[in-house]
Structure 1
Amino acid sequence: MMRSLFSGVSGLKNHQTRMDVIGNNISNVNTTGFKSSRVNFEDSLSQTLTAASQASGTTGGTNPKQIGLGMKISAIDVNFKDGSVQSTGINTDLCLSGNALFVVKQGNQTFYTRNGAFNFDAEGNLVNAEGLYVQGYMNASATEHNSINTNGATSSIQIRAGKTMPSSSTQIANYINNLNASAATIKSVTATDSNGQAVTPPDPCTVDGTNIAAAVLTMSDGTTQTVTTGTYKIGNSIPLSTTVKVYDSLGSAHVVPITVEKTAANEWMAKLAKGTITEEDGSLTTLTMADATIKFKDSGAYESGSAVLNLTYSQGNGAAPQKVNITFDKLTQYANSSTINAEADGYASGTLDTVTIDESGTVVGTYTNGVLRKEAQIAVAQFTNAPGLTKKGNSLYVESNNSGTPNIGTAASFGATITASALEMSNVDVAEEFSNMIITQRGFQSNSKIITVSDEMLENLINMKR
């Protein structure tokens, strides 16, 4: 008789625990990055009245006679499936999907979280709502802007407002895109002087506005073109005007004019348009560059050709003499429009303007000089058994004996994804929780009825003596 009472009590107690878990799930239905839990039951000990017997020659075997002694909780599991992505529009909010957690620190203690509601504090530290430091990989290089070493130890991410970037002088310029293989060439040149009188032009003919004020070019395609400036050679195409922006050692920009013209089949020439530049401050920049022959294969692919541009600055500028290597290996020559353009490295000094976090978890700084710099890479941790982590409150977890040790890296290295300007919603399924609530309530009521009926039976037994 007493066994049923104890079984009923165990049912009441453990169904109450299950209701506590359900209540906690529902209360966190809107908690960022919250992972719901579930309660699993199992039967408790059983009292054996008669053990099982083996079959004999005259009788068959019999099953054991056992009376259960109630139930108990076998586990309270954490469901680590991803929650839905909720867009927030705040660029420091991050939604993490997949088997990974953000890493945050308080002193020497490390915590893990799925709540990616981060922001920068007054010192430029990336922190969560409790002020714990978000961990990642900082870009320690003064010159490398496009990559971050993620093989070392993590550290707190700190990006101070007003951070400056030193200037970088130009070292190389690359010409890209296409030169028109069908470009028309000059067949003949007629010229007039400043008085409008016809003159016999030299070859090449330089139109300077005085000795030769204008020239009419007759092209191989039958068209004519009147020009009032520039140098033109019979058999060559009309020069294409390009510029290379060169930054000196002090970060000042200098625009160098270079022309490119076709000289033969599959062959072009690049040369300086002038030897000196008068800068806005009145200083002079002296330019030297040997004419460069650019050759292409019959397929239109680049074959050979390069140049070295030397710049010498007048004393008023103060910058050091400079050499810029010019390459043409990214050019093609197809029968299409000429779209040649020069891309050069180097930049002026700048101040950090804005900070954003992209889809890979990279913190990108935009500077006033137009340069984008990868400032840091947010780190994530992966556990073999993430549900084995211990909850510490404030949406934080710590490592446990059964979680495994954390593997720290980037989201991409673990197959996880980060959605910027968004947060992960709770993965609580309210409909499922309500269904579980009803089932738990009925289980609790049933166990309470066991206690009530057992009490009545005991009362009847006592009344037999009266």
Structure 2
Amino acid sequence: MMRSLFSGVSGLKGHQTRMDVIGNNIANVNATGFKSSRVTFADTLSQTQTGASAPGDTVGGTNPKQIGLGTGVASIDLLFTDASVQSTGKNTDVALSGNGLFVVKSGSDTFYTRDGAFEFDADGNYVLPGSGHYVQGWMATDGTLNTTGAVENIVVKAGKSMAAKASSTVTYENNLNSAALTITAVSGGTKQVLSSSANKITLAAPLASLQVTAGTLPNNDTSSTYTISSISGGTTAGTTVTASTDNPVVIKLSLDGSTYTLVATGGTYTTTDVTVGTTTTQYASGGKVSSATTGSTANPVTLTMSDGTSQTLASGSYTVGASIPVTTTANVYDTLGNAHTVLVYFTKTDVSSANGNTWTVSLTPDTSSDATTAIIEEDDGSVTVLNMEPISTRFTTSGKYDSAHNESSKAILTLSNGSQQTQNIALDLTALTQYSGNNTVKGSADGNAAGTLKSVSIDTSGIITGVYTNGVRQSEAQIAIAQFTNASGLTKTGSSLYQESNNSGTANIKTAADLGVTITPSALEMSNVDIANEFSDMIITQRGFQSNSKIITVGDEMLETLINMKR
């Protein structure tokens, strides 16, 4: 008689435990990243009255006679199923889907969570704000992530500065028009005098000793009087100024409204000889006549093209036998982050059906070997000198870049005034093609000006990207994800945190992509509690509890009847 009472009691206890779990599930229906639990029951030991017997020759076998002694809680399972994702619009929130957890730390203790309601604290630490636990991941070095090392605290400070980075390469891509027409004849316009180390321009008195290694003057001008409109650069000491490659002397001459810039990269000069406003300077000797003809408003140039058409232009420089130059611009940065706009010209100079077309890449529209220098007049009035030998770039007959017949090794720009030092910049032309159509070639340089972090964003792989005031987007860190063989075996520690247990397995910490999980930025994972299911379980649990209470009640009445038999 007493066995039924104990069975009823065990049923009451088991259903009470199940009700506790249901209550906890419902209480956490709005807890971010909460994982619900369930209770499973199993019968306890049974009392055997008669054991089973095997079949014999004259009689069959008999089953055992056993009386169960009640029920018990077999397990309380943690259900690690994904929940719905709720968009929050907060850029530091992240939601996780799949078999994974975020990794957070407090001191030397490591915890795991599905709660992605993270934010940055006053020191730039990426934390779980409710508890202050540090979110773990990998920090980037100069925008480069290495996720093979140990994880660490993610720290991205507000107002973080980015150092200026000098440009080292200008990369050109897209297409040059293979059907570009070539120039068969040129009329009108003027030609220029080119200056090089072998053909220096010498000015007459009062600057007779001044040899200028860069600059342009009208061709055949041996008698015009130029006015010195400005002098800058160089190193001044008393009444002398010394020019150098790093700090050239820049002299601007004017004549009839036109301005000519000459740059001396060597020599020492008396400032009394280069007084602004002097009107006795004459072009005397030196230089080499350019093969290109330049058009102007006063003296336009007329071009006859290979298809027989003609056109008149009031600007630009053009060479017989070559195409109209394709002008590209790229902003390159010096070591202080100053931007210099570099013009590079692409001119088709050789047409051969057998070997493919050849284009010349140069700093000026002139494609001759003497046209090695260009001048950038900066906004602050300074002058930057560029030096590069024109290079030949051949394309195959199928329009591909012909790496076997190119002079990329010569594609070096020398910024002679960039941050007061010489700076070499390589031109990468390997991504260019040459098909019939439009000229879509463009150049983009690496490097950047100095900047300040203004905002961050997180992508689906957990990479935190910083956006800087200089326009650069750079990887700052990547969020680490932990995966367990048996996530349901983790131990709950409160505050939506878990720790490893003896049956969870050890954490495999990798990136989200490595583990096949998905991160949703600006969103949070909701609780996976199913209210309808919990309410149904609540009713079932209530009925089970009531039924077990009836066992105790009826057993008590039966005992009372047994006791009353003595009366």
Cα–Cα, structure 1 residues 446 and 366, in superposed 2: closer, same or farther, change >3 Å? same
Shift, 1:204, TM fit? 3.6
Q: Deviations over 1:398-429 (max 9, x none)?
A: 11111111111111111111000011111111
Partner amino acid, structure 1, of 2:412: L
Contact 1:179 1:340 in 2 (8 A): yes
Equivalences, count: 452
Report the equivalent of 1:224: 310
Alpha-carbon distance between aligned partners in 1 of 2:519 and 2:104, rounded to the nearest angstrom:
16
Q: Structure 1-normalised TM-score? A: 0.94
Instruction: Select which of 431, 447, 450 maps to 2:532.
Output: 431
User: 1:241 is paired with a residue of what secondary structure?
Assistant: strand
Residue 376 of structure 2 is aligned to residue 277 of structure 1:
yes
Shift, 1:233, TM fit? 1.6
Report the equivalent of 1:116: 116
Alpha-carbon distance between aligned partners in 2 of 1:166 and 1:236, rounded to the nearest angstrom:
43
Report the equivalent of 2:162: 165
User: 1:454 is paired with a residue of what secondary structure?
Assistant: helix
Shift, 1:349, TM fit? 1.0
Cα–Cα, structure 1 residues 381 and 318, in superposed 2: closer, same or farther, change >3 Å? closer
Residue 412 of structure 2 is aligned to residue 309 of structure 1:
yes
Cα–Cα, structure 1 residues 458 and 254, in superposed 2: closer, same or farther, change >3 Å? same
Instruction: Select which of 210, 233, 244 maps to 2:319.
Output: 233
Contact 2:186 2:293 in 1 (8 A): no
Partner amino acid, structure 1, of 2:466: G
Contact 1:287 1:309 in 2 (8 A): no
Q: Deviations over 1:179-198 (max 9, x none)?
A: 001111112222168xxxxx
Instruction: Select which of 368, 384, 392 maps to 2:485.
Output: 384
Shift, 1:240, TM fit? 1.1
Contact 1:285 1:311 in 2 (8 A): no
Alpha-carbon distance between aligned partners in 1 of 2:345 and 2:82, rounded to the nearest angstrom:
58
Report the equivalent of 1:29: 29
Matches for 1:45-444 after TM superposition, within 5 Å: 45-128=45-128, 129-139=130-140, 141-142=141-142, 145=143, 147-191=144-188, 204-207=291-294, 209=296, 213-265=299-351, 266-273=357-364, 275-304=374-403, 305=406, 306=408, 307-314=410-417, 318-444=419-545
Contact 1:308 1:323 in 2 (8 A): no
Alpha-carbon distance between aligned partners in 2 of 1:155 and 1:192, rounded to the nearest angstrom:
67
Report the equivalent of 2:557: 456
Alpha-carbon distance between aligned partners in 2 of 1:205 and 1:385, rounded to the nearest angstrom:
76
Q: Deviations over 1:57-95 (max 9, x none)?
A: 222211111100001010000110101111110011100
Shift, 1:107, TM fit? 0.8
Shift, 1:208, TM fit? 5.3
Alpha-carbon distance between aligned partners in 1 of 2:383 and 2:160, rounded to the nearest angstrom:
32
Contact 1:85 1:425 in 2 (8 A): yes
Contact 1:250 1:319 in 2 (8 A): no
Partner amino acid, structure 1, of 2:543: R
User: 1:275 is paired with a residue of what secondary structure?
Assistant: strand
Alpha-carbon distance between aligned partners in 2 of 1:205 and 1:406, rounded to the nearest angstrom:
70
Shift, 1:296, TM fit? 0.3
Identity over aligned residues, as a percent?
A: 59
Alpha-carbon distance between aligned partners in 1 of 2:343 and 2:80, rounded to the nearest angstrom:
61
Shift, 1:232, TM fit? 1.2
The alignment yields a C-alpha RMSD, in angstroms, of 1.7
Higher mean displacement: 273-282 or 385-394: 273-282
Cα–Cα, structure 1 residues 318 and 433, in superposed 2: closer, same or farther, change >3 Å? closer
Shift, 1:163, TM fit? 1.1
User: 1:74 is paired with a residue of what secondary structure?
Assistant: strand
User: 2:554 is paired with a residue of what secondary structure?
Assistant: helix
Cα–Cα, structure 1 residues 209 and 57, in superposed 2: closer, same or farther, change >3 Å? closer
Higher mean displacement: 275-284 or 365-374: 275-284
Alpha-carbon distance between aligned partners in 2 of 1:293 and 1:100, rounded to the nearest angstrom:
55
Cα–Cα, structure 1 residues 205 and 357, in superposed 2: closer, same or farther, change >3 Å? closer
Which consecutive unaligned segments of at least 5 residues does structure 2 have? 191-288, 352-356, 365-372
Cα–Cα, structure 1 residues 192 and 31, in superposed 2: closer, same or farther, change >3 Å? closer
Alpha-carbon distance between aligned partners in 2 of 1:164 and 1:15, rounded to the nearest angstrom:
60
Cα–Cα, structure 1 residues 283 and 396, in superposed 2: closer, same or farther, change >3 Å? same
Alpha-carbon distance between aligned partners in 1 of 2:71 and 2:175, rounded to the nearest angstrom:
79
Alpha-carbon distance between aligned partners in 2 of 1:238 and 1:445, rounded to the nearest angstrom:
96
Alpha-carbon distance between aligned partners in 2 of 1:433 and 1:443, rounded to the nearest angstrom:
15
Q: Deviations over 1:98-153 (max 9, x none)?
A: 111001111111110000000000010001121111011111x24xx2x3111111
Alpha-carbon distance between aligned partners in 2 of 1:81 and 1:192, rounded to the nearest angstrom:
78
Partner amino acid, structure 1, of 2:293: T
User: 1:26 is paired with a residue of what secondary structure?
Assistant: helix
Alpha-carbon distance between aligned partners in 2 of 1:6 and 1:284, rounded to the nearest angstrom:
99
Alpha-carbon distance between aligned partners in 1 of 2:444 and 2:534, rounded to the nearest angstrom:
60
Cα–Cα, structure 1 residues 465 and 303, in superposed 2: closer, same or farther, change >3 Å? same
Shift, 1:356, TM fit? 1.3
Shift, 1:312, TM fit? 4.2
Q: Structure 2-normalised TM-score? A: 0.77
Shift, 1:385, TM fit? 0.5
Cα–Cα, structure 1 residues 130 and 206, in superposed 2: closer, same or farther, change >3 Å? same
Report the equivalent of 1:196: none
Contact 1:19 1:437 in 2 (8 A): yes
Contact 1:249 1:319 in 2 (8 A): no
Alpha-carbon distance between aligned partners in 2 of 1:267 and 1:308, rounded to the nearest angstrom:
15
Q: Deviations over 1:252-282 (max 9, x none)?
A: 1111212111112211111112622222222
Partner amino acid, structure 2, of 1:319: Q
Shift, 1:56, TM fit? 2.2
User: 1:353 is paired with a residue of what secondary structure?
Assistant: strand
Alpha-carbon distance between aligned partners in 2 of 1:208 and 1:237, rounded to the nearest angstrom:
15
Contact 1:170 1:344 in 2 (8 A): yes
Contact 2:188 2:295 in 1 (8 A): no
Cα–Cα, structure 1 residues 68 and 406, in superposed 2: closer, same or farther, change >3 Å? same
Q: Deviations over 1:144-169 (max 9, x none)?
A: x2x31111111111111121111111
Report the equivalent of 2:228: none
